[in-house]
A = this chain, B = another copy of it.
Amino acid sequence: MKTLCLAVAAAALAQSQVTYDHLLRADPKNWLHYSGQYHAQRHSLLKQVTTANAHQLSAKWIYHVDGARRLESVPIVVDGVMYVSQPNEVHALDAATGRLIWEYRRQPALQKGPNRGVAVYGHRVYMGTPDAHLVALDARNGSLLWEVEIAKASDGYWSPAAPLVIKDKVIMGIAPGDHGLNGFLDAYDATTGERLWRWHSIPRPGEPGNETWAGDSWKTAGGDTWLTGSYDPELNLLYWGIGNPAPDFDGDVRKGDNLFTESVVALDANTGKLRWYFQFTPHDVHDWDSVEIPVLVDAPFNGRPRKLMLHGDRNGFYYVLDRVTGEFLHGSPFVQQNWAKGLDPKGRPIRVPGVIPSFQGTKTCPATSGATNWMSPAYNPDTGWFYLVAQEGCGINTKSRDTFRPGGNAYMATGYIESPEEPWQMYVRALDLKGKLQWEYKQINSRRYGAGVLSTAGGLIFVGDDQGFLTALDAKTGKALWHFNTGRQISGQPISYEVNGHQFLALTAGVNVVAFALFDGK
């Protein structure tokens, strides 16, 4: 009988509409955006699970996504209903029990992956697809409302990022940059799917920044937008990280700073016009995408309250910017690095000569996979610290001469191997606002990327690793308080939500969604 009652409840809950007011609000019971809230702090205000009882967490349900290669999406939870995606699929689940409510499968079931998640608004669910479409589903039953083409899949484009809904717009990034396809950021009408604006991440001739590309190199320049950005409703500015220039490892054919690759950009959400930008790695030759999520924090800095942006970059540096103006406030390395002597007063790296890919290979730290990557960071307002997943290690980076070939072929000019001198090792690191290391947690046996972190008001940091462990750390000390083996590599960031008075933790792990809570099985 219990099961039947829950099914009825879930069907009723699936009727909930999500208003823009709701999207703006800190609503700890739900997980409404890829990064939790617009500020992307990934900090849940729920505190039923604490440092004192985290060891009593137990798995409450598992949902297995048939045919998945590996899930990398972040679940969205609205009033007891969870939406989980994989390429061309959305599954709506009862968030209390894991029971399926509806399932959407799109044809053709092209498995170019991953898919990082959906967005919700009104009674619609939005998702990008492997063939670069944006689809809108009815949240109540999974039926298709409309779909629009974002870019030509035949050119090689695809859409792994979770959309971000702002007012009546669906903001949508694109991939990949490694194929020499130029990136952009789009806004679509949330009701009709009509495209409202497009901002090109590679300036065209006559546009400011085009001069940072030698010759015609801007035409096959990369600069994709494959992760989800953040948003400041007061400033009405959208913050988005831009990917690497192409060809990745051969800078000779694209001399210049190569704007706006390896930058964060602030766009007017209404028009898509560029307000400011900050470039982390001018003229990058290491494939150090700067798509890492910009985290928006209001806090005193150097003696006065400021609207800040925190950013851990794949290039190994942690940055603090003024998010109103883009002013550089601070930068310091959070891993060992050998490519920059430091940053100048404007935040521009002072290069170490010779640490660029060569035909015979050049040792470069961090490696091309980066000091961090798609794994979301978090900010805990109680500790005032920034938490991120960091990889220590170096690569031997090589270059070659490459030729752009249209149709989705890699345009990378070779790549890298792992340096045998410094084996790769993953850590969770807590930094104060000035980038000072407060503690680190070594992820045992983890040499490759797992997933990002979740901070909770219970004083906990949750993190998954490539060995399949979900671990709860004390946010103040980094001490491991609990772990659970989910069975295979975790590539999805944890979330938290509340149903029926119980705080849940959930994440995608391998081909499963797994949900945890404290209460017993009754």
Contacts and interface: CB of A to CB of B under 8 A. Distances in A.
Contacts of A513: 487
A485 B4 contact: no
Contacts of A98: 468, 485, 487
A259 B510 CA distance: 48
A485 B99 contact: yes
A159 to B, nearest CB: 26
A485 to B, nearest CB: 4
A485 B514 CA distance: 10
A57 interface: yes
Nearest to A510: B64
Contact of A485 (B63, B444, B467, B483): B63
A469 B513 CA distance: 15
Given A62-B514, A511-B64, A56 B521 contact: yes
Nearest to A517: B58
A97 interface: yes
A444 B488 contact: no
A516 to B, nearest CB: 9
B512 A64 contact: yes
Contacts of A512: 62, 64, 487, 512
Interface in A417-459: 444-445
B521 A485 contact: no
A513 to B, nearest CB: 8
Interface in A224-269: none
A521 B64 contact: no
A55 B521 contact: yes
A487 B484 CA distance: 17
Given A3-B445, A511-B511, A512-B512, A487 B62 contact: yes
Given A512-B512, A521-B482, A58 B58 contact: yes
Contacts of A4: 444
A514 B1 CA distance: 25
Nearest to A63: B487
Contact of A521 (B3, B57, B509, B520): B57
Nearest to A61: B485
A304 interface: no
Contacts of A57: 521
Contacts of A522: 55, 482
A468 to B, nearest CB: 8
* Centre residue among A55, A64, A509, A520 by max chain B CB count within 10 A: A64
A41 to B, nearest CB: 27
A394 B59 CA distance: 38
A373 interface: no
5 contacts: A60-B484, A63-B488, A64-B486, A99-B485, A511-B511
Interface of A: 1, 3-4, 55-64, 66, 97-99, 444-445, 467-469, 482-488, 509-514, 520-522
